Amino acid sequence: MKNEINIGLLGFGVVGGGVAKILQDHQEDLCHKLGVPVKIKRVLVKDLTKKRDVALAPEIFTSELDDVLEDPSIDLIVEVIGGTREAKDAIERSLRAGKGVVTANKDVMAESGLELLKLADENKCDLFFEASVGGGIPLIRTLEDGLASDRISALTGIVNGTTNFILTKMKHENKSYEDALAEATELGFAEADPSADVDGIDAARKMVILASLAFSTDVNLDDVYVRGMKEIKDGDLELAERFGYTVKLAGSAKKDEEGIEVAVEPVLFPNSHPLASVNNEFNAVYVYGDAVGETMFYGPGAGSLPTATSVTGDIVAACRNLMLGVNGSRLHAPQHKKKVKDDSQKFARYFHRILVKDEVGVLTKLTAIYSAHGASLATVVQQPEENVAEADLIFITHQISRQQHLDIMNELKETPEVIGVQSHYRVEGEA
């Protein structure tokens, strides 16, 4: 029986410092729950001379990975260095050395999760990754344990705090995209290079992790349809509000007998929908189960202590397994062979904003295009334009396939009377 558990902490940035702070401040509570103290034995950093906000003994810091991984007294590795190649290598070496791993790395888990989980199974080690999605929201544990007896049919939600913060500022404070992004960067919600966030890649990686767990299959980033928030055009937020909608960059994953579909894109949610009122850096995810019905998980999706709380929760779970001698006892092999739907099998309602020449017969010609592709229209509205020679048409369809939507978009772009397709969105629910 162990009388203490020693941790090797890889990385001491925002999340790593938060983990150290929680372990220090909550040591008495953790010792009560586990029966033994949990101590940080070694910390890997790049710069040994850098001043730290959390005080730890200077001698535990090292710039050499081997000092941590090859220390026989260390029971558990916590990886919060970020990136992919270095982090993946560290996780692999830890697992092969028989040390369990807790990681917050969504990039590594989205790209190599199945491979690493298999390696953990082979070496009878735990690999926990709660903090890779949703910051402080316990989504992974919910899917793996809380809803393990149910059959998940769909997930939809806001899984990127940066873009949600930007859209909130644009909608409620009338800020430009550039000003909202600058504020997000100043507050630490956006990276110096925000492209992974605003292009939807960060959210797509998180949806890969969630969909793989929810549907017990091997979902890859290439399986995700991705459109970033740069697709949101000037005036779209106000226009959506006029029709009773709010624009959110949302992730969705669905499964039925035909297969799975996973997407990240700007979506119109009715203002009455709970996700429409999720603001700033907060995340929220709806989970639809055959037995439980609809459940929603809401909380801070970013920040030092919320993310560190999820990491520490995984540390507690891994420590319990170590104390009970059952670490690495859960198998992670996918249950189902992956079958991804094609665009003709994915159905939704769509919002189309089309700038056209203001001429007689244009509306009739455009509605004929929709009819020719088997699409019926729920809403047709002409918006006034300053230029009297132009008209802004708004079409909202009934349910059509994504293929129908794409075919209509392509034909509209080739139609002489169409100046341009301004924007298009998938529509959730009824406004």
What pTM did the predictor assign?
A: 0.93
Residue boundaries of the structural domains of the chain: 5-135+304-324, 144-300, 343-427
- SS3 of residue 101 by DSSP: strand
CATH number, domain 343-427: 3.30.70.260
Going through 314-387 in order, the beta strands assigned E by DSSP cover 347-357, 377-383
Q: Would you list the DSSP string of 173-234?
A: S---HHHHHHHHHHTTSS-SS-HHHHTTHHHHHHHHHHHHHHHTS---GGGEEE--GGGPPT
Strand 282-289 and strand 152-158: pairing? antiparallel
Place of tokens 């809403």: 379
Q: 88, 99, 169, 206: which is the annotated catalytic residue?
A: 206
Q: Which of 184, 402, 272, 142 is nearest to 176 (CA)?
A: 184
User: How high is the pLDDT of residue 386?
Assistant: 74
87, 102, 335 from 117: Cα distances, Å: 15, 12, 14
- Tell me the average confidence (pLDDT) per consecutive run of 10 residues in the chain, 431 residues long: 90 93 94 93 93 87 96 96 94 96 96 95 95 92 91 96 95 93 88 92 97 95 96 92 96 97 98 95 95 94 85 95 88 86 97 94 96 97 81 96 98 96 91 59
What is the structure's pLDDT at 388?
A: 79
Give the pLDDT of residue 209: 97
| Active-site residue flag, 206 | yes
CATH number of 5-135+304-324: 3.40.50.720
Q: Decide if domain 144-300 falls under CATH 3.30.360.10.
A: yes
pLDDT (0 to 100) of residue 431:
59
Query: In the beta sheet, which residues pair with residue 154?
Result: 254, 288
Task: With CA atoms as reference, report the closest residue to 153 among 253, 274, 221, 225.
Answer: 253
